[in-house]
Amino acid sequence: MKATIWHNPECGKSRATLALLEARSEIELSVVEYLKNPPAREKLAQLYRDAGMAPREGVRTFKTDAEERGLTQADDDTVLDAMIAEPRLIERPLVETQKGVRLCRPPEKVEEIL
């Protein structure tokens, strides 16, 4: 099975999810440090669509100004544009497999798509 994690090594939840994935020998893992290599807008939209969530549900509010900017209530295009301009607004970690996408908070949510 292939899996891709959009990872921030500074984030404890992201590190814990990565550890769960690395512990599974059958997984061919791709790690993308999204702050260095952010996903394209179309890819980000696809990730949220496949996760069954609106982009505003994936906005990082901790240590950002997302709420003050109204991003938690904004339309998809506004949120995606903000995330592409400032990748730190993307809540992490997002994990994609052929079974779907999950925002892995808590990290154990990754089990739903393995």
> Choosing from 1, 2, 10, 11, which is the catalytic residue?
11
Cα dihedral 41, 67, 8, 50 sign? negative
Residue 104 annotated as catalytic? no
Contact 110, 104 (CB under 8 A): yes
Q: Give backbone dihedrals phi and psi of 17, rounded to 5 degrees, phi first.
A: -65, -45
pLDDT score at 57:
97
Mean pLDDT in each 10-residue stretch from start to end of the chain (114 residues)?
97 97 96 97 98 97 96 97 98 97 98 96
Angle subtended by helix axes 41-51 and 76-85, to nearest 10: 130
> First vs last Cα of the chain: how many Å apart?
8
pLDDT score at 60:
97
